[in-house]
Amino acid sequence: MPDSNERRSYSHIRALMAGTSEGMIAVSPDRTVRMINEAASAMLGVVRNECVGTPIDGLGVCGLNAALREALDKQAAVVSKCELNGNDYTFTVTPYVDGIAWGAVVTIRDNTEITAVRRRSEAILTSTSDGIVVFDAEDRITFVNPAAERILGIGAEALVGLVTDTWKVFGLAADPEGTVRETGTQSREVRMEEPAHRIVDVRIDPVLDDDG
């Protein structure tokens, strides 16, 4: 039976879990639900009190069992995605040592609104007649719209995932003054011979997210 210190610790953890908007599930070393907060029960459509003490696979979350096994095998955090009840969720499984055995904490984030915004944005970018190529912070191409495919004569499947300086996409050397993150907006008039002779105005603008 837990002593007073254990009960106080449990109550403190329970209060922290209840106060967050993200779903949280504590998984015991025997793969049963130790604690689940209100946010997680609402996201998964389960009754919180009925889940405690039951096997984690009883929650019926796609990919969660595999992510849990991988996290415990590697003893490192594992991220998994799942669509459930029409919503998009990201699960982060973080293992912890409970005495001599390993348990895990599962954090659930609802990405439904973010996914919807991204899809709307991609629809707008796809429909524009201007060629648009999107790079991430590591100079990896993440999106190419149909207009850019026509201008470059290269399909998106060959470009997305490519890590390169922006100007090299057009066969040009990088700006000697630095990257667009260092210089701000860069623009050039580019003469292209392939797939057809044309002169295009290319403008590169840095875009900052919430983390800068």
Nearest residue to 28 (alpha-carbon basis) of 44, 41, 10: 10
Mean pLDDT value of segment 134-163: 90
At 1 the pLDDT is 47
Share the mean pLDDT of the chain: 84
Of all residues in the chain, what percent carry a pLDDT higher than 70? 89
As a whole number of angstroms, the distance between CA 49 and CA 38 comes to 10
Nearest residue to 38 (alpha-carbon basis) of 26, 46, 27: 46
At 9 the pLDDT is 46
Mean pLDDT value of segment 136-151: 90
Residue 165 in this model has a pLDDT that exceeds 80: yes
**Cβ atoms of 130 and 144 closer than 8 Å:** no
From residue 145, give the alpha-carbon distance in Å to each of 19, 51, 79, 159: 42, 45, 28, 11
Question: Exposed, middle or buried by CB within 10 Å (0-12, 13-18, 19+), for 52?
Answer: middle
Mean pLDDT value of segment 58-69: 86
At 126 the pLDDT is 84
Q: What do you get for the CA distance between the two ends of the chain, in Å?
A: 49
Task: Tell me the pTM.
Answer: 0.55
Tell me the DSSP string of 143-158.
Answer: EE-HHHHHHHT--HHH
Mean pLDDT value of segment 62-89: 88
For the segment 101-113, what is each residue's pLDDT rounded down to a tens digit? Answer: 899 999 998 888 7
Mean pLDDT value of segment 178-187: 88
